[in-house]
Structure 1
Amino acid sequence: MSSVAIPSKEIIDQFVGNAHGNFTLVKDSLEKFPTLINTTATWNETAIQAATQTGQVDIVNYLLEHGAENDICTAAMLGNFDSVQEYLEKDHILIDARGAHGIPLLYFPVIHAHQHIADFLLQHGADPNAASPGGITPLYGAAMFNQSLLAHWLLEHGADPNPRYNGKTPLTIALGKNH
């Protein structure tokens, strides 16, 4: 009888932390501890949520291939229109879904310029000014991920240009990136 090693909370936290952008360490950890796939870090975030909110497509796809639980935020970030549409058809309340740290659904298609999904979400009631408890909005996503066309699109659709997150507006972030 073989036993499966149960990872410690520290290993879980490292795994989820690495999913924010360190693909090599994510793979190494998952090879050692396959049970990590859907575990939750002490800050209430899974690896797929971490990778999704930071736009790590390769890590997200790897985690999905290894059994991570998909959701509407992940589908939106990946540009999977059919899945987003299916999620909303099953439960329209998901238009108000939140990802890790309470980041609003509309943020996720914006960070990878999936305007067709962002437009679909807006048509179905997504709020362009929805913010995480910390103040992250879809417009912040556009600024942080250099999506100037989506930033203009959001502004045309009523996004507030002046919310503050960590003392900065989306414009401050964009100017810091020479946009």
Structure 2
Amino acid sequence: MQQTKPDPLPAEKVKDFVSAGHNNLDKVKQLLTEFPTLIYATWDLGGGDFETGLEGAGHVGNKDIANYLIEKGARTNLFVLTMLGKTQIVKAYIETYPSYLYARGPHGFTLLHHANRGGEEAKELVEYLQSKGLKETRASL
């Protein structure tokens, strides 16, 4: 017997959640209470520009929201880990996959942008990324 899947999440809730992920922890918590699977949702801004609530927190440097979402099980990525200053993880990944140095996150923001947003905790990564040749903080998608 085939199980039926629930309806897709309401688009406006996904959009609200991703928007709140940038700077509104209270709203993030409220929306997750209402729709727990928003933690996995991605908003399509058009033109191949996709973003999750966690990625919103990542590119603005909101560590409180990023850490909250990760603790709740959000799927993280190298951009967010860079902003959080997770040096060992980021360096190991770049050493294993050197071309990822030039990957683009939401809105075309680079790893260097995310490291800059990470402040003191990501300072070593700023230097590392620049030593590898990354200069741009944003590139077109």
Question: Which bracket does the TM-score occupy, shorter chain normalised?
Answer: 0.7 to 0.9
Unaligned runs of 5+ in 1: 135-179
User: Is the partner of 2:51 in helix, strand or coil?
Assistant: coil
Q: CA deviation at 1:4?
A: 6.4
Partner in structure 1 of residue 38 of structure 2: 36
- Compare the two structures and name the one with the higher helix fraction: 2
Q: CA RMSD in A?
A: 2.0
- TM-score after normalising by structure 2: 0.83
The alpha carbon displacement at 1:32 in A equals 1.6
Verify the 8 A CA contact 1:20 1:50 in the aligned structure 2.
yes
What is the rounded CA distance, in whole Å, between the counterparts of 1:10 and 1:122 in structure 2?
39
Higher percent of residues as strand: 2
Aligned residue in 2 for 1:170: none
Identify unmatched segments of 5+ residues in structure 2. none
* Number of residue pairs matched by the alignment: 131
Match of 2:123 in 1: 115
Contact in 2 for aligned 1:9/1:42 (Cα 8 Å) = no
Kindly provide the amino acid, as one letter, of the partner of residue 54 in structure 2: I
TM superposition score normalised by structure 1: 0.67
Could you tell me which amino acid in structure 2 is paired with residue 83 of structure 1?
I
Q: How far is the alpha carbon of 1:82 from its aligned partner? A: 1.0
Radius of gyration: which is bigger?
1
Query: Hey, what does 1:15 align to over in structure 2?
Result: 17
User: Does the residue aligned with 2:23 lie in a helix, a strand or coil?
Assistant: coil
1:79 Cα deviation (Å)?
Answer: 0.8
Secondary structure of 1:115 counterpart: helix
Report the Cα distance in structure 1 between the residues aligned to 2:32 and 2:6, rounded to whole angstroms: 13
Q: Distance in 1 between matches of 2:62 and 2:136?
A: 24
Deviation track 1:122-155 (CA, whole Å, cap 9, x = no partner) reads: 12231x2353339xxxxxxxxxxxxxxxxxxxxx
Please give the alpha-carbon distance, in whole angstroms, between the structure 2 residues aligned to 1:57 and 1:5.
32
Partner of 1:25: 27
Query: Could you tell me which of 117, 129, 133 is aligned with 2:140?
Result: 133
Alpha-carbon distance, 1:49 to partner: 0.9
Deviation track 1:57-85 (CA, whole Å, cap 9, x = no partner) reads 01101111112111111111001101111
2-structure distance, mates of 1:4, 1:26? 22
